[in-house]
Amino acid sequence: GWRSVVRGVGAYLPERCVTNTELARTVDTTDEWILQRTGITRRYFAAPGETTSQLATAAARAALDEAGCLPADIDLIIVATATPDYTFPATATQVQAALGITAGVAFDLQAVCSGFVFALATADKFLRSGSHRRALVIGAETFSRLLDWSDRTTCVLFGDGAGAVVLEARPGRDPLHEGGIVTTHLRSDGRGREKLFVDGGPSTTGTTGHLRMEGRDVFRHAVGNVTDVVVDAFSAAGIGPDDLDWFVPHQANRRIIDASAAKLGIHPDKVVTTVHLHANTSAASVPLALSVACGDGRIRPGQLVMLEAVGGGFTWGSALLRW
């Protein structure tokens, strides 16, 4: 048997940083409102012409460096994104070409803010099956291109960025003790579409469209319903909240993160929060948070880490890893 081990983590944020105060010059909002409701202090926006695949490629290079891997070592690339460079081809193939990789397979996965956790679960199943050896799992977004700047209830919440991990198949059947992805749990429910969606697309309007959200309903769903996938992970692994070293949830909103952790009985000291640093970057948020917490020495080899995410669809999922 095989298990999937994380060998490296990398991230990339565009150069342009926009604080709440700067945003308040063009949007009818205040630093106080944004900070109090969401915990966000700033976000990064891609430069004109800077694309999702470019952010993804930068994050992938950082992850490859940390893993000590060459692009040629990679035989699977999954890019989770809701903001692809083009309707087709897949952003993942653009990343593959930019890295000079000509072997293996590259494809996109669309689960909005849950995309990275869905991509990690998918890559894990490829590696466990023995069909592939080394994967780049990337979450990358340019949500700034989807925002309606006349809607202050949504445009203050999001930013651009990318994060990536290198996953490697190693022999073994017991990731809980030997290291690797222990268990993944994914869910979706299409009845939630109208709560969080983009009002355009190739087969509806023929336009890109803008992000639309019923903030309060999304909040209620995120705290009320999505913790089930973490509970599923606990029971599949035979562990409880006290066994975790770190909880790394989707970085949408500080209040959602705090309420979810409290509901799950996870101690606040074990929660990794980075939403204040870069706002909600959708599929990039979990690997960005991982990159921060690995970089500052919080997440260390041997520790037990629970990832969780929720996004449009609705989609939601968890991944438990022995780091």
Instruction: Give catalytic residues, as residue numbers.
Output: 113, 250, 280
Binding interface with ligand ACO (CB under 6 A): 29, 33, 37-38, 113, 152-153, 156-157, 196, 213, 215-216, 218-219, 222, 250, 252-253, 256, 280, 310-311
Six-digit token pair at 233?
A: 């992970």
Residue type, 68: G
Closer Cβ to ligand ACO, 91 or 315, answer by number? 315
Q: In the bound complex, what is the minimum distance in angstroms from residue 273's beta carbon to ligand ACO?
A: 13
Place of tokens 């000291």: 269
Phi, psi for residue 125 in degrees, rounded to 5: -70, -35
Closer Cβ to ligand ACO, 38 or 93, answer by number? 38
Q: In the bound complex, what is the minimum distance in angstroms from residue 93's beta carbon to ligand ACO?
A: 26
Q: Phi/psi class of residue 253: alpha, beta or left (left: φ > 0; alpha: ψ in -120 to 50)? A: beta
| Rounded alpha-carbon distances, angstroms, from residue 42 to 13, 32, 59, 215 | 12, 12, 20, 19
Q: In the bound complex, what is the minimum distance in angstroms from residue 113's beta carbon to ligand ACO?
A: 4
Closer Cβ to ligand ACO, 75 or 308, answer by number? 308
For residues 166 and 266, give the distance between their C-alpha atoms in angstroms, rounded to a whole number. Answer: 27
Q: What is the DSSP letter of 306?
A: E
Q: In the bound complex, what is the minimum distance in angstroms from residue 123's beta carbon to ligand ACO?
A: 22
Closer Cβ to ligand ACO, 195 or 322, answer by number? 195
Looking at the DSSP bridge assignments, the partners of residue 141 are 161
Sign of dihedral through CA atoms 232, 78, 143, 163? positive
Q: In sequence order, which residues have a C-beta less than 8 Å from that of residue 210 and are 6 or more positions away?
A: 146, 147, 148, 151, 198, 199, 200
Q: In the bound complex, what is the minimum distance in angstroms from residue 88's beta carbon to ligand ACO?
A: 25
Closer Cβ to ligand ACO, 36 or 235, answer by number? 36
∠ CA 301-304-308, rounded to 5°: 120
Q: Which of 215, 234, 218, 240 is nearest to 315 (CA)?
A: 218
Six-digit token pair at 23?
A: 């945003």
Residue nearest to ligand ACO (CB): 215
